[in-house]
Structure 1
Amino acid sequence: MDVSLARILVCLFAGIGLIVLLTAKYRVHAFFALILACLIVGLGVGMPVDAVLTSVKDGFGNILKSLGLIIVLGTTLGAVLEHTGCTSVMANSILKQIGSKRANLAMSLTGLIVGLPIFCDSGYIVLSGLNKSLARSSGIAMAVMATSLATGLYSVHCLIPPHPGASAAAALIGVDYGRLIITGTLVAIPAMLVGYFWAGYSGKKYPDVVTETEEAPTEPAYLPSALKAFLPVAIPILLIAVKAFFVIDTVAPNKWLTMFLSLGDPAIALAIGILLAFNAGSNWRKDAVAKLLQDGAEKAGGILVIIGAGGAFGAVLAATKIGGHLSAALPLASMGLFFPFLITFIIKTAQGSSTVAIITAASIVLPLLKPLGLDTATGHLLGVLAMGAGSMMISHANDAYFWVIAKFSGLEMKTMLGVYSVSTVLMGLTSFAMVYLLSFIL
């Protein structure tokens, strides 16, 4: 199939435009938007119908094969942590250490830690009650408190597995999850701090306005100890990180070490986290356990079909040989990490979802890794992180998370745009600067 670059690009832009139009304006589920984009691109460049369908099926299946367990287990872990009150316990423990005078810093750190296994929108809803209470007791403006918590959660949501965008990009491009968690955390911490400082600087300019807000979920009657609350988060991360350390340093392990390192497989580590999270609860009933597991699986299902469709889109793009055409026509080598960052930034700003943005961008970047100079293990890692940085900006009125924050904190549109949206721009730029700096170190 000999197709010109111009034709491929027209079809690609048409596919991306369709994704943005359907998801942002018409609120069509991203799965259907991505599948339709596959057909637009594949048929547009002249691929036979059966070839397009084969690419869609192969791409869909290949990414779910490597990612399905991680998403289901990660989602379930978040559901159990919410149900048992572990998130509130972690928040209060951090607050005791930091002090009520710096309650906004405590909420930023809480967002960073709680956000590791829990999606940012769920984490914000669960912690919104505590956040509003601290805002009243400390006298700190709600815009400061809300943005501090929101950016703490957001910093890890865009960069670190088991969050779906980072997980899908890692699976598509081929990045070790342990290395991504370790390096992504190094990038997420400065991003969180930038969000915290901007919230403190700009949020105090906006006085609190009493508006109708959503009610936060009620906490369970029994709350676990701080140790039990932190273990389901700390142990899986530690196990995954230890395994990644041995992979990075290529240490030849013995039999017993091999058995121990097998616990660092993300699926096994997350399963251990779920067991520890259940242990943090009390007086479990069979129906309660069954409902939590069902909720986790059902929520994961919606995410998995989007990720699978993203994998299908990537497979169709690969079949068009877009990488060879672009590498011959553009100086991609001079763009390097900036290209995946820019592509993700544009898609995120246009259609609102960080997950859809990074999955779509990963599909575009995959065949371009070699001409971009990123066709190494480290290049793959930094490329995924650059896309994660791009997926942070700009969160505004077309982002569902934007409205979760506004509704549960009672902030007006002007305040949200002036404080939170600007913070996402600063976080994205900071994250990309960190990734660029790491490119000279790793």
Structure 2
Amino acid sequence: MSLVLILLAIIAFIVVATTKLKMHPFLALLLAAFIAAFAYGLPAASIAKTVSSGFGGILGYIGLVIVLGTIIGVILEKSGAAITMADTIIKLLGERFPGLTMSLIGYLVSIPVFCDSGFVILNSLKESLAKRLEVSSVAMSVALATGLYATHTFVPPTPGPIAAAGNLGLESNLGLVIGIGLVVAAVAALAGLFWASRFKNVEPDGSEHELSHQDWQALRASYGKLPSAWQAFSPIFVPILLICLGSVAKFPSHPFGEGGLLTLFSFLGDPLPALLIGLLLAVPLLKGDSKAEAFGHAITEGIKAAAPILLITGAGGAFGAVLKASPLGDYLGATLSAWGVGILMPFLVSAALKTAQGSSTVALVTTSALVAPMLAQLGLDSEMGRALTVMAIGAGAMTVSHANDSFFWVVSQFSGMKVGLAYRAQTMATLVQGVTAMVLVYLLSLVLL
């Protein structure tokens, strides 16, 4: 029992340090690793080595993937590719289902672009459509926000799911995580869309940010010549396709044979080469007189954006390494197995962390590091079990977005919603999303495990 009390105290320390003391999650997780090491009685001579190897182990491979994914996202964001994605989907779906259209736009755009940035970029389109089609901008805001949020927490190459997959030993099988993540994210997005429809007759109650059709046209014009649909979608969907093909190629049945095709798809389907190809496909989107200079700026900006995520991910790896070296995993895994908690345990821990400290990425990284040593005892120590654990953690990491989450304020402020309405509309939508996604993950675990 004392092992569990130590763990609860360490989790409480992480929450208090990041919320009350405003400590950066990187430092909070790193200190938590050292506190855990001493509290669980690890030999003093090995503590520093365990922490540093845990930090370097997770970043040695997944770090490069996070950086490349972030750079691609920066290029797509700055080039107007998100605008092209939105225009393409509107052309495909028309204007008959505005809420579904906004949800689908968010679902696709947030795979490469952070949900906060995606909402800011697409806000004028959302307001323009709401005004043109005479539908509630609150319902449209929630539909867009929940669509963005779904893929943000479930689908690589978004950094949070990638880091969780790395902590759980799935860095070489991201195709499985992407495949399941796209399905779970789709259901979560539909759940958010369902909640958004409850506000179809509700208008913003705060300082409104209504934007006309002309504003959307002005935003489009500010990007100059927009990329084609192929140019906009290919830097992210070609790598995803390659990663999925790489996973298929490694199936025991060897669907591509055991010769050259297997070698080719195994190499190209590795996340690192796949994202390098995605980066090459993104380069033509760069604007300016000097493509080389623009590329340099994009890399610099991408590295700046990725740096905090890399540090948090590495510190989470260090924390996980200490927990693996402690007796906690065997004890807690056996206890939870006796309780029959199973796949629900990662969800509950992640949801508690998300609700307490606000960051989905921190919840994904911390929970995955904490759960990794217990997978065998929880009956989740298989490729599918690990992938479903990532999904369960992702479901928790979206439950719930409220006042301590920057995304909550982006959605409420750009949509002209006061805090009360934002809690009823956006926060409740993320609760519905998280619970719905977890129900699906639980049902999948009954069938697939």
The whole-number CA distance in structure 2 between the counterparts of 1:129 and 1:26 is 36
Residues 68-125 of structure 1 show CA distances to partners (whole Å, capped at 9, x for unaligned) of 1110000001000011101111001101222224222111101111111122112112
Task: Find 1:237's aligned residue among 237, 240, 244.
Answer: 240
Partner residue, 1:198: 195
The whole-number CA distance in structure 2 between the counterparts of 1:328 and 1:71 is 34
1:223 partnered with 2:219: no
Q: CA deviation at 1:18?
A: 1.5
Partner residue, 1:293: 299
Partner residue, 2:404: 398
CA spacing shift, 1:227–1:330, aligned 2, 3 Å: closer
SS at match of 1:207: coil
Task: Find 1:433's aligned residue among 420, 424, 439.
Answer: 439
Partner residue, 1:255: 260
Q: Is the 8 A contact 1:177 1:266 kept in 2?
A: yes
Give the aligned residue type for 2:350.
Answer: T
Partner residue, 2:184: 187
Q: CA deviation at 1:256?
A: 4.1
Q: Is the 8 A contact 2:191 2:432 kept in 1?
A: yes
The whole-number CA distance in structure 2 between the counterparts of 1:37 and 1:212 is 43
The whole-number CA distance in structure 1 between the counterparts of 2:372 and 2:266 is 29
Residues 326-363 of structure 1 show CA distances to partners (whole Å, capped at 9, x for unaligned) of 24444446111111111111111111111111211112
Q: CA deviation at 1:41?
A: 1.6
Q: Which segments of 5 or more consecutive residues in structure 2 lack a partner in the other structure?
A: none
Q: Is the 8 A contact 1:332 1:372 kept in 2?
A: no
Partner residue, 1:381: 387
The whole-number CA distance in structure 1 between the counterparts of 2:197 and 2:355 is 24
1:274 partnered with 2:279: yes
Q: CA deviation at 1:429?
A: 1.3
1:208 partnered with 2:213: no
Residues 171-190 of structure 1 show CA distances to partners (whole Å, capped at 9, x for unaligned) of 11112101000011111111
Q: CA deviation at 1:197?
A: 1.5
Q: State the superposition RMSD in angstroms.
A: 2.0
Task: Find 2:5's aligned residue among 1, 10, 26.
Answer: 10
The whole-number CA distance in structure 1 between the counterparts of 2:46 and 2:95 is 61
Q: Which moved more, 1:51-60 or 1:62-71?
A: 51-60
Q: Is the 8 A contact 1:194 1:426 kept in 2?
A: yes
1:412 partnered with 2:407: no
Partner residue, 2:356: 350
CA spacing shift, 1:67–1:91, aligned 2, 3 Å: same
Q: Which segments of 5 or more consecutive residues in structure 1 lack a partner in the other structure?
A: none
Give the aligned residue type for 1:371.
Answer: Q
Q: CA deviation at 1:63?
A: 0.3
Partner residue, 1:63: 58
Structure 1 residues 18-417: aligned runs within 5 Å = 18-175=13-170, 176-201=173-198, 203-211=199-207, 218=219, 219-251=222-254, 252-285=257-290, 286-332=292-338, 334-417=340-423
Give the aligned residue type for 2:308.
Answer: G
The whole-number CA distance in structure 1 between the counterparts of 2:98 and 2:162 is 31
Q: CA deviation at 1:233?
A: 2.2
SS at match of 2:321: helix
SS at match of 1:397: coil
Q: CA deviation at 1:284?
A: 4.8
TM (norm. structure 1) is 0.93
CA spacing shift, 1:260–1:375, aligned 2, 3 Å: closer
Give the aligned residue type for 2:192.
Answer: G
SS at match of 1:87: helix
Give the aligned residue type for 2:180.
Answer: T
The whole-number CA distance in structure 2 between the counterparts of 1:320 and 1:390 is 25
Q: Is the 8 A contact 1:143 1:415 kept in 2?
A: no
Q: CA deviation at 1:52?
A: 2.3
The whole-number CA distance in structure 1 between the counterparts of 2:438 and 2:232 is 32
SS at match of 1:122: helix
Residues 389-413 of structure 1 show CA distances to partners (whole Å, capped at 9, x for unaligned) of 1111011111111111122222211
Q: CA deviation at 1:440?
A: 3.4
Q: CA deviation at 1:278?
A: 2.1
Q: CA deviation at 1:200?
A: 1.3
The whole-number CA distance in structure 2 between the counterparts of 1:338 and 1:330 is 10
The whole-number CA distance in structure 2 between the counterparts of 1:309 and 1:378 is 26
SS at match of 2:4: helix
SS at match of 1:335: coil
TM (norm. structure 2) is 0.92
Q: Is the 8 A contact 1:20 1:350 kept in 2?
A: yes
SS at match of 1:398: coil
Give the aligned residue type for 1:102.
Answer: F
The whole-number CA distance in structure 1 between the counterparts of 2:234 and 2:328 is 46
Q: Is the 8 A contact 2:127 2:210 kept in 1?
A: no
The whole-number CA distance in structure 2 between the counterparts of 1:416 and 1:332 is 40
What percentage of residue pairs aligned between the two structures are identical? 42
CA spacing shift, 1:85–1:392, aligned 2, 3 Å: same
Residues 181-229 of structure 1 show CA distances to partners (whole Å, capped at 9, x for unaligned) of 001111111110110111012x235322351659999541110112221
